[in-house]
Amino acid sequence: MKLARHPVGAAALAIALAAGMATTSLVDTRPAHAASLSDAQELVASAKYAFDDLVDQGTNATIRALLKDAKGVMIFPSVIKGAVGIGGEGGSGVLLVRGPDGTWSYPAFYHMGSISLGFQLGGQETRFLLILMTDNAVQKVMTGDTQLGGDLSAVAVESGIDKSTGTTTGRRDIYYHAETEGGLFAGVSIEGSRIKSRNKMASKYYGYVVTPRDIVIERRVSNPQAEELRTAVASQSGI
């Protein structure tokens, strides 16, 4: 199944690559535009479909086992890596946190971005599922600006699991599963990526000025449009 694409972003990327533009102008490490309500709604809907696909592909038993103990999940339906040379990558996603009663929060909004050096395949698009296993991971992400591999330990599900037993080889803050277009894992790494909150997008979505803590811990807001996403996460985490 093809990755969910934002029509405007995909078109702009194709034009830019054809014209040979500099990578840093193709994909910024910051959110590229002021989010609208429809952008937020589209992201939540895309996150639900991406979550379903990522859990149901390949390593589903392992991912489900991790989800049963997870403190939170982050879903990035589309992260685009830049072209050859100095490359950037970026994409928006959502965070849901499991409460003391076992129920999952409504989504808070985030952006994943990084800058890397060296040869890269231009325009590579990947979707990510991040499984937050510790309270430390949840707290760090909620600060609004966190580096993966620096502030938090993160390991790919494929390399962090003993496949013969289905157990983790040393508990990490975050386990992640990534797929490129066509459903291939392709050894994608999030080492060094920064995750920043998108509070303006959250405010558009909920109609109030809110922080990630307001949404996922204090649970001061709700939006019925996110119920399908919450239900999907709950159904795969044993709730």
Give the residue carrying structure tokens 């959110």. Answer: 31
Question: Rounded CA gap, 205 and 201, in Å?
Answer: 6
CB count, 10 Å around CB of 239? Answer: 15
Lowest mean pLDDT among 15-19, 199-203, 227-231: 15-19
Percent of the chain exceeding pLDDT 90 equals 46
Judge contact between 93 and 35, C-beta under 8 A: no
**pLDDT at 35 (0 to 100):** 78
Q: Which of 138, 145, 152 is nearest to 217 (CA)?
A: 138
Strand, helix or coil for residue 170:
coil
pLDDT digit string, tens, across residues 66-111: 999 999 999 999 988 764 444 556 899 999 999 999 999 999 999 9
Query: What kind and span of H or E run contains 60?
Result: helix 60-69
* 185's tokens: 């894992």
**pLDDT at 32 (0 to 100):** 46
Confidence of residue 145 (pLDDT cuts 50, 70, 90): confident
DSSP 208: S
**pLDDT at 123 (0 to 100):** 60
* Greater pLDDT, 18 or 215: 215
Question: Rounded CA gap, 144 and 83, in Å?
Answer: 27
Q: Which of 126, 116, 112 is nearest to 177 (CA)?
A: 126
Q: How many helical (H) and strand (E) elements, i.e. helices and strands, does the chain have?
A: 9, 10
**pLDDT at 48 (0 to 100):** 97
Mean pLDDT of the residues in the chain = 77
Residue 194 has pLDDT above 80, yes or no: yes
Give the residue carrying structure tokens 């999940």. Answer: 73
Length of the chain: 239
